[in-house]
Amino acid sequence: MIDTIEKEDNLISEEEAAQYDRQIRLWGLDAQKRLRGSRVLFVGLRGLGAEVAKNLILAGVKGLTLLDHEQVTEESRRAQFLIPVDADGQNQAQASLERAQLLNPMVEVKADTDAVESKPDDFFFQFDAVCLTRCSKDLMVRVDQLCASRNIKVFCGDVYGYHGYMFSDLGQEHHYVEEKPKVVKGSNEANDGPEAKKPKVDPSETTMVKKTVSFCSLKAALEVDCTNEKAKNNLKHIPVDYFLLQVLLKFRTDKGHDPQPDSFAEDSQLLLQIRDDVLETMGLSSELLPNTFVSYCFSEMAPVCAVVGGVLGQEIVKALSQRDAPHRNFFFFDGLKGSGVVDYFGSK
């Protein structure tokens, strides 16, 4: 779909060239035109959602639809910067629209106040990429499977206190180009010696290399078998945040919301119980996720939203522009350590 749009409208205006000058210099005109022809659906306008929306609008996608059915509360207003201070009680997507549009008038920004669960299957087919935050596991799996049938890129992400993650499914065959230093052939002259005949890398010259990579579904990524011998041997290399994500998604499914600071004691006990149940089902010891995790996974921390939102926005831009190697397929960020890790889960 992206390539088709690009061919239909192959020119870029002087105004766009001036607006996106730095980006065009960074990743090239072709990549910018692919972005300019892409429509994105973003679900969930809290702290992480505002960060990603900002990044996509500034990058210059063609259109961005902000979908959120929830109303603005004091907590949600403080969690993000697109909602005005006097917007309590309004719809979160609608309240975020004006400031979002002001970031870049060249991008068509729309607000949709429906619940994503109520949307029919064909609603998602009008977009080139769909990004889901604050959604249940079942809904994310459903949308991922729907979009896979139409080669639509799917991204998921959330922030839980000091922890955050993003997931991407770019399909069975995602094509992209990567800039590499040019290899210069060695000289064949007899007096140059054997060393001169070896290929050399010239850092001053680069060439574009076409590559293809395959992704698995979200369902496969979340149902990794940890009971076989190979998985047990590699257990120490698996980020703890992968198991934390499983626990938090189960909490969201059971309770219909994320852990709440107002019910910290009650939710902490439930988190510990869910931790035990989830890890037991996976054939693992609860010691993999120490009890202290419950102290650091409530609400959205603004700095964590900024980091995860930057990475998530970057990955959407890379996927749509087909420029540079994508993260495959999870990124986990631990704000306590101040570091993140990219890891792949699911069928190879």
Map out the domains of the chain with their CATH numbers: 13-171+301-343 (3.40.50.720), 174-213 (no CATH), 218-295 (no CATH)
Report pLDDT digits (tens) over 162-206. 999 999 999 999 999 998 888 777 655 555 555 555 667 767 688
**SS3 of residue 203 by DSSP:** strand
Tell me the DSSP string of 249-270: HHHHHHHSS---GGGHHHHHHH
Secondary structure E strands in 257-328: none
User: Hey, which residues does 74 pair with through a beta bridge?
Assistant: none
Report pLDDT digits (tens) over 31-52. 999 999 999 999 999 999 999 9
Residue 28 phi, psi (nearest 5): 95, 160
Residue 197's pLDDT is 58
Q: At what angle do helices 302-321 and 29-36 cross, to 10 degrees?
A: 110
Whole-structure pTM value: 0.91
